[in-house]
Every structure is written in structure tokens, then in C-alpha cells.
Structure 1
Amino acid sequence: MGEFFTLLKEGNKPSLLAAVVNTIIGVLKAGAFLLTGNVAMFAEMMHSFGDAANQFFVFIGSALSKKSPTDRFPNGFGRLVNLVCLGAVIIVGILAYETIKEGLHHILHPKASSGFLISLSVLGIAVVLELFVLFKAGKEVLHETGQDAKGIQVMAKSFGSLKRAKPATKLVFMEDLVATIGGILAMLAVVIAHFSGFVQIEGIVSIIIGLMMFYVVGKVFLENARGAIGETDEEMRQHIADILLANPAVTDIQRLNVIKEGELLHVEAEIEVDHKMTIAEADDLKDRLSLLIFAQKGVSNVVIEFDEIDQITHWIKQRPVE
């Protein structure tokens, strides 16, 4: 149990913050829905509770993925965060379905809701809190990708760097981006329904929010499915190839795999060296190269193998021959 709580300290902080904030927002929206019967509020309530559950799972998964390898699991637990994310999106998918179903029912059987000011106030508070979490997630994206920015530049830069962020951080960013947009749409729906009498707009917005939730489900599912299977990090692969070839003792690279293990990287390389190299020299070379590769961000495991020069160039134009 002590190890579990120690691992929790290493969990993804933005996902924990987002989970707590979305739980608070979900409770506020649930109260507002019970008081007003607003369908757009119902959709936002489902969205917030779905995000909160999702992000709690992701936090725990990201923490457990830091567990050290064991004899039974020698490759470690890096991919656990991908598996947790795959499970978490099922929850969001179910809530997205219920949101769309409720929106469709409201369009076919429209009913005016009450509590205009209550709905608007709760949604306004929710949007501000979601923006706060989104900003924090954006800063974490920049931190993980080695960038820095302040103010509005945080959001602008984080969009461009999102692809290289950790799975958990990426999930939080996407979910809170959709949640913020959904909150703004829900506020517009409440205003339009109140002043125009077009109450079906709340059902329409509910369906739009549900579809956005499904978009997150699809995006997160595909990315984490690739991570669970084992996806190559092409950018880091080329970077490590440059490190290897920068050593004059390395004449070529026969094989180089840089596999994402959740938030970590597993590196396997087979390099060519002079057949006259002694075992002691090869061992020293392996140690030096391993230290350089381990110094790269996210690398958790390095395996280097040697082969003699075969007069065939395997790494051509900065890419290995397939």
C-alpha cells in the first residue's frame, strides 16, 4: 500500500487537477439541472462527470505506469497508461450516447426550462473553471515538449506541440477544450431559448456536445490503441540515430527501434563496428552510448547490440532501409 501512495505522487498532475475541478463542476451542473430541467445543462452535467471519471482513471494509470519492472513483468508497466485511457473512453462513450439520446428526445418533445439566471450563472462559472484547467494543461504540454510561453501564447503554442505531449496530458487538454466549447454553446442555447422561445435549440446543442464527446472518444482510442500495441516515435528515432552515428566507432545502424511504452521510450539498436574491436572496447562503447541515450527525455530502457561491418549501408538518407 505504501508503494501505491508513493506512485500516486508520480501521477500526471494535470489529470488530477482536471478530475477534481470537473467533479465540482459536475455537481454544480447536476444541481442546476434538477432546479431548471434544462437539457443543455443535462448534456454539460454528463460531460463533466464523464471527464472527471476519465481523468481520475488516467491519473491512477499514469501513476501505476511508473512502477519499476519486476521478474514477472520485465518490460515494466509503461503501457498501462494507454490501457487505462482505452478503458476510460468507454465511460465517455456511454455518456456521449446518453447525451445525444436526451437531446434528440428534447427536439421531438420540446419543453421549456426554467431558471434562466441559475443556468447561465452555473455555466459561466463552469466555463471559467474549464478555461483554468485548459490553461494549466497547455502549460504542461509545453513543459513536456521543452518549450516555454506566457499568457495567451501558452494556448497558441500548446496546440502545435500537443502531438508530442504525454498521453495523459493530451487527453486532459482535448477533453477540457471540448468541455470549454461545450459550455459556451450551452450558454448560447440557454440565452436563445429564453429570449426567442426556440426551446429545441437546447436539444440541438445537447446533440452537438455529445458528438464532440464522441470525437474525443475516437481520437483518444486510436492514439492509445497505437500506444498499447507499441508505436514508433519517429522523431526520437532519428535523434538517437544521430547520437549513435556521431561516434566515430559506429559505422552504420542495422536496426533501430524506439518504441513508446506509455509515457516512456524503449530503445533497441543494432550497430556496426570494426571486427577488430576488443570485448573491453565494445563494452566501454556500449556504456558511453547508453549513457547518452538514457540522457534523452523519456528513455527508460536501452538495448544495444553489435555486428561487424558488412559493407552494406543500412541507414540511408537519415532513414533505415526497410
Structure 2
Amino acid sequence: MSRRRQLSSKPPQENDSQSNHSHEHDNEHGHEHSHSIFGAHSHSHGEEGHNYGAEKIMAAWEGTGDRGSRITLIGLFSNVGLTLAKGLAGWFLHSASLLADAGHSLSDLLGDFVTLFCWKLSRKAPTEKYPYGFGKFETLGTTTVSFLLIGGALGIGFHSYHLLLSALAETAHSLPSGPVQEILHNVTSIAPGVPESLMHSHAHAVDPNAAWFAAVSVIAKEWLYRITKAVADEEKSPVLLANAIHHRSDAYSSVVALFAILGSWIFPKLPLDPIGGLLVSFVILRQGIDLFVGALGDLTDAGVSAKTRDSLQHTLDPMLEASDSSIRSITGLRARRSGSLLYVDLVAEVPAALTVQELLDLETQILATMKEKRKEVVEVRVKFEAIH
């Protein structure tokens, strides 16, 4: 004879909670019983709690808002200044790589708005329409940021590609007749998507002063990456981490732009500036694709990594090792992410003589033990299997 009990646990909310209990008896197999307990929690902060207008943004900026909003706003205002400075400098100082870098900062700026919106929305309490909360909106924000990166990379790449062909065309016109000139002429003449007017334009020399703007951007964006990632790690937030990676990718692009500008100054005959723009686009494209692949896994309810699963399993080791523990083993542990939150399912083998109340106490202890080690765990569904 065997007895099986299944429990589901959610963390208690601050204001109110309600739980309902159901007991199902299956007599088809003799003495097999099934008990399921589901907890539903909700709380409301009133009309002010859902005000995400100018007052909320200013409160976050002044330090009274949450850390995620504040760090995003710092990045947002920084990106406004960097986009304007690098854009104007790139235009007037004739630097293709700096203009590409400014375009990347503009995508960072758009990403900050997406991050701020999704971060605030994901922190709302569960509602009747979204009983599991709004954590997936963080993943949706990460997906949007990845699209911004990919789109920005393609735009930067095409722009730099056209400028590179223009520079090669100018080089071909300046060379004496010979095999090198013929090769360059053939490459530029058959290149797809290059306007005829661009092929015969005369490129301006890059002003080396553009390097100062790229250097300032490297320092600023690396600083933004570090402070944003620190908050993302503490909050276990994928959308904040995506925004941090966005800052780091802009730092990389600024490094490439810096060396491209200095290289064009030292070797004016070589088209290093548009080549730098192409390198920037490849770096950004790869990061955008990596972010998208990770977000897609969360959106499709892919399981957590083996490392995370092992870490969750080890959080229950103290309960298993305790001399008075009723749990004989933990098996079948699995978990999925919903934004920064973790939902866990597991099977616990326990003595058949335990009462329903004892099982309730045990599943509460399992949740508390897991949350002590991994604060992003929001729910643990436990299936108890009886052993004799």
C-alpha cells in the first residue's frame, strides 16, 4: 500500500492571503489518497501604488524609489548626453566609427525606457488576470533590448560598409593603373546596395579630436555597466542585466571607435575608421543574439541551467542531513524562470504515517529554507510520496 500527498506553496504576501484546500480520494487503487493544497495571495497598494508617472520617476531619481528604477534613470540621462555629444562630434569631426557609436548610445537610450517600464511593471502585485504575477514582462523587456541591439548593429554595419566601399573607391582612383586598382574597382563596382553618388564621393579626413569623445564614452559606459550589473545581480533581474550588457557593449564600441580614430590619424591612407564601425557592429550583433537566445528560453518556459538546479537542490541539504528530519530524499527537482523569479517543483519522499498538518509544516519549511539561500524563489510545489 502507498500513500501520496501533493502540496503547493507560495510565499505569504504582506497584506492579505487566502487559501483553499481540496482533498481527493482515489479508491480505484485501494488505499491511495491525494491531498492538494494551493495558496493564492494578492495585495493592493491603492491608486498611488499604480502611479508610474512623472512623480514616480522623480522619486526614483531622488533616491526614494527602488534601486532598479534609480540605476536605470542614471543610465538614461547619461545616454542622452553621450548620444548628443558623440553624434555631433562624429558629424562635425567626420568620424564614421564615432557616429556609429552615437547610434549605439541612442539604442541604449531606448533600451533604458524599455527597462524602466518593464522593471516597474514586473514589480506589480498579482492580479486576477495575471495570477502568477508580471515577472514575464522582465523577459519581454530583455527581448526588446536584444532587438534594439540587433537592429542597431545592422544599421551601424550597413553604414560603415558603405563608407568602407567609398574609401576603397577613392583609393582606387588615386592608384596608378595596375592589378591592384583593377581589383579595387571591381570590388566597389559590384558591391550591392551602394549608391552611385556614394561611390564617387570624396571622404573627409577624420579629425583626431574625435578620440576624446570616444575615450570619455569608454569610461562612462564601463562605469554604468558596473553599477547596473551590481544592482541586477542583487535583484536577480534579467532586464537590468540586459541593460547592463547594453552599457558594456557601448563601452566596447567606444573602444573600437577610439582605436579606429587614432589609427586613421596615424595611417591616413588606410580606411580604419569605417573598418572600426564594422567591428563595432559585429560586437553588438553577437551580444544582441546572445541576449535574445536567453530571453527566448525564459519565454518558452525552458528549465534553468544544470548549475542553478544543483544549487537549488543543495539548499535543502541541511533538512536532509538533520537527524530529526522527516524527508528521506528529494528527487525530480525542476525550475523555470519568470523574469527575476524562480518557480520550483520537486518530489519529497516521507514516511507514510505523517499527517496532513505535518506535511503542511514540512512544505512551509522547504520554502523557507530555499528562500533563505535563493531569495528569487517565489513558489515551491511539493509532491510528497509515501514510503513504508
Q: TM-score, normalised by structure 1?
A: 0.81
**Retained in 2: the 8 A contact 1:12–1:169?**
no
**Retained in 2: the 8 A contact 1:293–1:299?**
yes
Q: Does the residue aligned with 1:306 lie in a helix, a strand or coil?
A: strand
Give 1:215's match in structure 2, choosing from 277, 280, 286: 286
Distance of aligned partners of 1:45 and 1:199 in 2 relative to their CA distance in 1, 3 Å threshold: farther
Deviates more, 1:6-15 or 1:40-49: 6-15
Aligned residue in 2 for 1:107: 164
Give 1:237's match in structure 2, choosing from 307, 312, 320: 312
Say yes or no: does 1:22 pair with 2:100. no
Aligned residue in 1 for 2:297: 226
- What whole-Å deviation, never above 9, does each CA across 1:255-279 have from its counterpart, x for those lacking one? 3222222111112233121111122
**Retained in 1: the 8 A contact 2:221–2:250?**
yes
Where do 1:268-283 residues align within 5 Å?
Answer: 268-283=345-360
Where do 1:249-264 residues align within 5 Å?
Answer: 249-264=326-341
Amino acid at match of 1:278: T
The CA deviation at 1:61 is 1.2
RMSD: 2.4
Aligned residue in 1 for 2:175: none
Say yes or no: does 1:48 pair with 2:105. yes
Give 2:211's match in structure 1, choosing from 98, 106, 120: 120
Amino acid at match of 1:305: K
Deviates more, 1:299-308 or 1:217-226: 299-308
Distance in 1 between the 2:319 and 2:133 partners? Answer: 25
**Retained in 2: the 8 A contact 1:237–1:257?**
no
The CA deviation at 1:100 is 0.6
**Retained in 2: the 8 A contact 1:241–1:256?**
no
Q: Show structure 2 runs of 5+ residues with no match.
A: 1-46, 168-202
Say yes or no: does 1:129 pair with 2:206. no
Q: Does the residue aligned with 1:67 lie in a helix, a strand or coil?
A: coil
Moved over 4 A (4+): 141-144
Distance in 2 between the 1:80 and 1:243 partners? Answer: 34
**Retained in 2: the 8 A contact 1:116–1:194?**
yes
Q: Give the number of aligned pairs.
A: 289
Q: Does the residue aligned with 1:191 lie in a helix, a strand or coil?
A: helix
Aligned residue in 2 for 1:80: 137
Aligned residue in 1 for 2:93: 36
Distance in 2 between the 1:249 and 1:289 partners? Answer: 12
Distance of aligned partners of 1:49 and 1:67 in 2 relative to their CA distance in 1, 3 Å threshold: same
Give 1:301's match in structure 2, choosing from 348, 372, 379: 379
Distance in 2 between the 1:120 and 1:252 partners? Answer: 62
Say yes or no: does 1:98 pair with 2:155. yes
The CA deviation at 1:254 is 4.1
Distance in 2 between the 1:115 and 1:224 partners? Answer: 41
From the CA coordinates, give the structure whose radius of gyration is larger: 2
Say yes or no: does 1:177 pair with 2:248. yes
Q: Does the residue aligned with 2:380 lie in a helix, a strand or coil?
A: strand
**Retained in 2: the 8 A contact 1:193–1:202?**
yes
Where is the strand percentage greater, Structure 1 or Structure 2?
2
Q: TM-score, normalised by structure 2?
A: 0.68
**Retained in 2: the 8 A contact 1:15–1:59?**
yes
Q: Does the residue aligned with 1:73 lie in a helix, a strand or coil?
A: coil
Where is the helix percentage greater, Structure 1 or Structure 2?
1
Distance in 1 between the 2:81 and 2:326 partners? Answer: 59
Distance of aligned partners of 1:62 and 1:97 in 2 relative to their CA distance in 1, 3 Å threshold: same
Where do 1:61-76 residues align within 5 Å?
Answer: 61-76=118-133
Distance of aligned partners of 1:234 and 1:281 in 2 relative to their CA distance in 1, 3 Å threshold: closer
